[in-house]
Chain A
């Protein structure tokens, strides 16, 4: 019997620091550990004693790639704690800001982090030497997403314009309409992106995922909806912790999430798409069908096509919002000046999947307890399952080949390690 260990000490082209360790004994995969050595930063601890109004700016700093997600989950959680309802144009502007982040984050992953895997390059700079038009398309899309965030949020990383109740300043109709030509170009680039992604070569793999995402009655989910899965979960957001739990494992500074008595599950584009296909816009649905996607995609490698479809949706949705925009009477709903001690939670759909926040507030408006569950920590256990299956069918590969295949399988899920640390290096051990 030979023992093999395969180790990737530092996974590249993922956001944050992680590694992977695999132990193989006599043709059986004994252990797969996606290790996260991103140093812990203790957000949930130092949020205590901060004013509820500070949470959107502070929690944004959990992740430079998806700060809007943190701002959206935290503002909605606080509004629930304070009994506030934010509707109308303010609600639409929040979707518009989120659309910007989806476009920016997905374009980054598709073109700069993921496509090089399919085409055999170490990075986008090398990819650009042979496929300049593809990389330029990706950068142009990314720039449009970032531009939306600049106009609405003040800047693309850690926007400054989001507050509990709405925004500090809302844009004029003219400011938004000025974005129209660029968004129309982005829509066309997104259609090309779906075709580009669909034209890549995909390993013939299907995984039996439990998909978990928000689902809303009328729209593709961003900030509102119920938590649903393809295996019967259908609960209001407020029951999230009754059904899902975080567990700590020795090899990781990230906490792993499971559905109680069921096990691992997947959040993110594949889950959102499978559970909400009917709410995609006409362009996105048409492009998905043309690209040969069913209404459910179980091949993790094809997530690159689904991300492209979501970019297209985000462009459609952004155009819809700016065409119907009329400025709200005030840039924000005034929070109540006094309130009892209260608890509020919210889930929003970050580019990588559901992001859960819960806060307990004192009557003085200070945070007494905070709980944050990032998308990648929910996916971590499910990514390990993907890896276990991959390794079992790829044992004939040499260590370098197997290591490369494992890294690719991890990148399929666009893990954001900064987020999940409270969250990955590959170490394959064969015996």
Chain B
């Protein structure tokens, strides 16, 4: 009996640190089994063999920051049956999204002696600002377990089981002592989406929000708590304006942090 063709997987990179696509290669125990189930058709960081599209499943890492990438993401979408963004850059602009709050010409002059050589957009934008996205994996970086769940669900033809509850839920399940209650450590756990395994509180530090906002974040309450824990408004603004600066709930929190009515 002939074996059915395996779905074709592609991994694409836009502006990013490569960490989320490295997560695929970090699945040391599953990588070879995965390669039996899907055909790794286009993954430049891992292979010099490229099979032409269309692709069944595209994983997109990174944000759009150049005129060329604005064009390329449309091409990737056109070649992809299912497009999943992986990580904070692709879903919320990434740390390079901080340029959206600044003057990019000034940035260019700070880093480069000849800014005229550098082609860049004034903004870093999530993939969904440019093309329809079928699913997003959060995190800076994404969680390997969530990546494997997503691919398994895709192969099984079911919805992935990736809850948008808060880090607090995960933290409680892990049996951690709450760092806010026990030590007064500022922690974004209540407003941040689970998925990391609540690692920061497990290491006695507050969550810094690298998975972006959870499904129903109570931002005003979070801002009051951070203030009561002694964080100065500029520090509160910075903590929301880091790895997911353009996620709507975090963006509005960063704007409210330094406005008078919130204090």
Tell yes or no: B161 within 8 A of A by CB: no
Most chain B CB inside 10 Å of its own CB: which residue of A116, A126, A248: A248
Instruction: Say whether, besides A15-B18, A17-B13, A146-B26, A45 and B45 are in contact (CB < 8 Å).
Output: no
B22, B66, B200: the one contacting A65 at CB < 8 Å is B22
Q: Which of B188-207 contact A (CB under 8 A)?
A: 196, 199-200, 202-205
Decide if A248 touches B117 in the complex (CB within 8 Å): yes
- Per-residue CB contact flags for chain B residues 55-91 toward chain A (1 = under 8 Å, else 0) read 0000000000110110000000000000000000000
A264 shortest CB reach to chain B, Å = 19
Residues in chain B near residue A108, CB distance under 8 A: 22, 25
Residues in chain B near residue A17, CB distance under 8 A: 13
Residues in chain A near residue B14, CB distance under 8 A: 39
- Per-residue CB contact flags for chain B residues 36-61 toward chain A (1 = under 8 Å, else 0) read 00001001111111100000000000
Decide if B111 touches A157 in the complex (CB within 8 Å): no
Residues in chain A near residue B28, CB distance under 8 A: 139-140, 142-143, 146
Residues in chain B near residue A233, CB distance under 8 A: none
Decide if B48 touches A41 in the complex (CB within 8 Å): no
Return the chain B residue nearest A154 by Cβ. B199
A107 shortest CB reach to chain B, Å = 9
Give A62 to B18 CA distance when docked, in angstroms: 9
Return the chain B residue nearest A419 by Cβ. B17
Give A50 to B208 CA distance when docked, in angstroms: 14
Instruction: Say whether, besides A12-B44, A41-B95, A64 and B15 are in contact (CB < 8 Å).
Output: no
Query: Which of B96-104, B151-159, B253-261 contacts its partner?
Result: B96-104
Most chain A CB inside 10 Å of its own CB: which residue of B35, B104, B113, B203: B203
Tell yes or no: B238 within 8 A of A by CB: yes
Give A255 to B110 CA distance when docked, in angstroms: 13
B144 shortest CB reach to chain A, Å = 9
Decide if A39 touches B46 in the complex (CB within 8 Å): no
Give A37 to B117 CA distance when docked, in angstroms: 11
Number of A-B contacts (CB under 8 A): 186
- Per-residue CB contact flags for chain A residues 123-148 toward chain B (1 = under 8 Å, else 0) read 11110100010011001101100100
Decide if A248 touches B32 in the complex (CB within 8 Å): no
Residues in chain B near residue A15, CB distance under 8 A: 18, 22, 45
Decide if B113 touches A248 in the complex (CB within 8 Å): yes
Return the chain A residue nearest B34 by Cβ. A125
Q: Which of B103-125 contact A (CB under 8 A)?
A: 104, 106-108, 110-114, 117-118, 120
Tell yes or no: A418 within 8 A of B by CB: yes
Instruction: Say whether, besides A40-B118, A57-B208, A125 and B17 are in contact (CB < 8 Å).
Output: no
Return the chain A residue nearest B141 by Cβ. A157
Give A406 to B106 CA distance when docked, in angstroms: 37
Return the chain B residue nearest A60 by Cβ. B17
Decide if A248 touches B114 in the complex (CB within 8 Å): yes
Give A51 to B94 CA distance when docked, in angstroms: 19
Interface size of B in residues (CB-CB distance below 8 Å): 64
Decide if B18 touches A41 in the complex (CB within 8 Å): no
Give A331 to B202 CA distance when docked, in angstroms: 14
B89 shortest CB reach to chain A, Å = 9
Tell yes or no: B246 within 8 A of A by CB: no
Tell yes or no: B148 within 8 A of A by CB: no
B209 shortest CB reach to chain A, Å = 11
Residues in chain A near residue B102, CB distance under 8 A: 45-46
Give A25 to B238 CA distance when docked, in angstroms: 54
Decide if B17 touches A418 in the complex (CB within 8 Å): yes
Decide if B140 touches A51 in the complex (CB within 8 Å): no
Most chain B CB inside 10 Å of its own CB: which residue of A64, A67, A135, A156: A64
Return the chain A residue nearest B48 by Cβ. A12
Residues in chain A near residue B43, CB distance under 8 A: 123
Return the chain A residue nearest B20 by Cβ. A64
A37, A41, A48, A154: the one contacting B203 at CB < 8 Å is A154
Chain B residues with CB under 8 Å of chain A are 13-23, 25-26, 28-29, 31-32, 35, 40, 43-50, 65-66, 68-69, 94-96, 98-99, 102, 104, 106-108, 110-114, 117-118, 120, 140-141, 196, 199-200, 202-205, 208, 210, 235, 238, 242-243
- The 9 listed contacts between A and B (C-beta, < 8 Å) are A38-B15, A41-B96, A61-B94, A64-B19, A123-B47, A142-B26, A160-B205, A168-B200, A248-B114
- A-B CB proximity, top 10 nearest: A64-B19, A123-B47, A122-B49, A12-B48, A45-B107, A46-B98, A41-B96, A143-B28, A139-B28, A157-B141
Please give 5 more A-B residue pairs, beta carbons under 8 A apart, in addition to A13-B45, A46-B102, A168-B200: A16-B13, A39-B120, A112-B46, A163-B205, A169-B204
